[in-house]
Amino acid sequence: MRILLLGRQGQLATSLSAVLAEDDVVALSHQELDICDAQRVAGMVKAVRPDVIINTAAVRRPDACELAPEHAFAVNALGARNVALACVEAKCALAHISTDYVFDGMRRTPYFEEDPPNPVNVYGTSKLAGEIFVKQIVERHYVIRTSPLFGGATDPARASNFVLALLRRADDGLDTNVVTDQWMTPTYTLDVARKISWLIRRDTHGVYHISNGGHCTWYEFAQAVAEKALLRTRLIPITTNELVTPARRIRYSVLGHGMLERLESNDLPHWENALERYLQVLGRHRAPVIRTTEARRKEP
């Protein structure tokens, strides 16, 4: 399969490149192809002639989006539109990566694909706009919503995800504030990449939620990292109300996997298993979790 992968320097794209190694993949970074440039996007897609485009390119940091909304919409919404229009011209499929932040987090049960989105910040709103463009323009689309990601990168100095940031702070002897009242599913990019590779070879188009199993708070996730890696660091529990950020955070963003269940393919491992495998890749997995996991199984 010939695949055009956009946003190749990101965590998920890094894992996708590894998973799709046996395919004919053309992977491009933002510097190599700015999806805000409609003419260049159209020209590149025409030249590559892919069977499917996987668009991971995005402005992902909620605070950055809140502080620069025009740029966020230019990339996350209009950039997605440019890619979608190029797909139609090239008669190829489009796998577009979206986010759990299209929901408002007001409920305490998992959000499924058919639940109405209601974003509460610029990041979520811009990503939802991108979803709408893709669904309206490209018939053969896979809109893939996922959860907070870790993986791909392996250098704590770059700290491109929560796990690496926590490892770096621990190595530097720093304490870390972590929220106790935001529930989500930490998700390994390698597991998502494998499921995307499986999905794009099927003609079952639509919206998909892809994340690891289980759920926890950010504080519980940080505890698991610290215990599995034997980190000597102090985790300071705080609430969302104590966390002052430009962008509003959502309290609950656990995703239900209705579409994968219908395809009998809801088999992604639990997030703790995924975390252990990532720490092993980093060479930082030192010990099993020694505390009870009962708290992590409770509903918030």
Q: Which residues are catalytic?
A: 123
- Kindly state the helix (H) or strand (E) to which residue 100 belongs, with its residue range: none
**Contact yes or no for 229/278 (Cβ under 8 A):** no
Task: In whole angstroms, give the CA distance from residue 116 to residue 113.
Answer: 8
Q: Where are the alpha helices (DSSP H) in the chain?
A: 11-19, 38-48, 62-67, 69-73, 80-90, 122-137, 162-171, 189-199, 218-228, 258-262, 271-282, 294-297
Spatial CA neighbour of 51 closest among 126, 112, 140, 133: 140
**Contact yes or no for 222/235 (Cβ under 8 A):** yes
Task: In whole angstroms, give the CA distance from residue 250 to residue 105.
Answer: 5
Residue 33, C-beta contacts closer than 8 angstroms, at least 6 positions apart: 6, 40, 41, 44
In the three-class reduction of DSSP (H, G, I as helix; E, B as strand; rest coil), residue 114 is classed as coil
